[in-house]
Amino acid sequence: MNILVLGAGQLARMMSLEGAPLDLNVRAYDVGSKKIIHPLTQQDFGQTLEQAIAMVDVITSEFEHIPDDVLALCCQSGKFYPGKAAIKTGGDRSIEKALLDKTGVPSAPYKLITEKQHLVEAVSLLELPLVIKTCQAGYDGKGQWRLTSRDQLDGIWAEMAGFIASGSADFPHTIIAEKMIPFDREVSVIGARDSQGNVKVYPVTENQHTNGVLTLSLAIEMDNNIQQQALEAFDKLALAMDYVGVLAIEFFDVNGTLMVNEIAPRVHNSGHWTQQGTACSQFENHLRAVAGLPLGDTQAQKPTAMINVLGQGNIPTKVLSIADVKSHWYGKSQRAGRKMGHINVSAANQVELGEKLQQLAEILPEQDYPGVAATAQRLLTS
């Protein structure tokens, strides 16, 4: 079976790697160059998008920000999953909030902003502090502001106004202000749903961020109440979108109650641990779902951690001398802060995982791999 992925980055690359053993042949559409390429070898197939759509059996996506004309063309083919509604939801926070309201899934109180008066009203309605986000084109902490004092209002509005003005009548830009929620931690759930409505959900993962970018994900035993809340949210949202494929949902854990932070209609960074911690990774399950194959097992086989490699051209080779440690590289040119790859580490139990993370912390510099040492200490003393 031939599958076309919209987007030619690391997620398409990993889908290709996971698809080959299932005889699922993945090609990627590079949105920037408008070329159809092999996501691993970068071979240019010399096809137009229209030609690629005609020759593949299924079309899917590795990201949300797909040009509207490309999305329309793919949807017209009847081959595109997870579908236009899901992609639009993941790419626009105002649509995302409307879906959460409709399904009754908890999230932070908010107000949409298109003019300065709306921002003034948000301060009165929601009270400070506020988290302000662009509804379109935001990722990894970009396009966000923190409003903690009324003195900041004019300065932040000047930056917001520039983003709003850069929109058009066909593609308006909007901004959302949310009440800042004091939370204990961020967690995420990733699940797969097929066209028949069958669902398989992975265990909830705890995520750690540095400057708005995910640095470490921890898949260990989680309170059953948290897992149940995440499963209920997944079921409601996937059903409402008639979703097909892998869906990721990020939550704030507020004293044991989950509130949605963000929805991602695709495989997700916080699910990379599934490559080593489960029998069927998120990448394989996404391909299975869109290709009409039975969904694979999502149970955790062993405690696992994922460490992002940010801006580093290589990792110390000593890392690979530790048992059950594997590296995954994305084939990117090096740039400060860029996601270059990730490291997965598994163990028989949480204490052993703590010991392995401690070994890694002695090799990996804290400034480049924040949180590894602290997570190791926590697992060893809990």
pLDDT tens digits for 18-40? Answer: 999 999 999 999 999 999 999 99
The CATH number, out of the four listed (3.40.720.10, 3.40.50.970, 3.40.50.20, 2.160.10.10), of the domain defined by the range 2-80: 3.40.50.20
Q: What is the largest CA-CA distance in the chain?
A: 59
Question: What Rg value do the Cα atoms of the chain yield, rounded?
Answer: 21
CATH 3.30.1490.20 fits 109-179, yes or no: yes
For residue 345, give the 3-state DSSP assignment: strand
**Other CB atoms within 10 Å distance of the CB of residue 225:** 11
DSSP-derived pairing of the beta strands 175-179 and 130-134: antiparallel
pLDDT beyond 90 at 171:
no
Q: How many angstroms separate the CA atoms of 70 and 8, rounded?
A: 14
Q: Calculate the average pLDDT of the chain.
A: 96
Whether omega for the bond prior to residue 39 falls within 30 degrees of 0, making it cis, is no
**What is the reported pLDDT for 167?**
87
Q: What is the mean pLDDT of residues 201-230?
A: 96
**What is the reported pLDDT for 139?**
60
pLDDT beyond 90 at 319:
yes
pLDDT beyond 60 at 140:
no
Read off the tokens for 174: 């909007």
Q: What are phi and psi of 16, to 5 degrees?
A: -60, -45
Strand partners, 253: 185, 258
**Other CB atoms within 10 Å distance of the CB of residue 44:** 12
Domain ranges of the chain: 2-80, 109-179, 185-381
Q: What is the mean pLDDT of residues 162-180?
A: 90
Q: How far apart are the first and last CA of the chain?
A: 47
The CATH number, out of the four listed (3.40.50.300, 1.20.1250.20, 3.40.190.10, 3.30.470.20), of the domain defined by the range 185-381: 3.30.470.20
pLDDT beyond 60 at 118:
yes
- Report the candidate in 292, 227, 291 with the shortest Cα–Cα distance to residue 256: 227
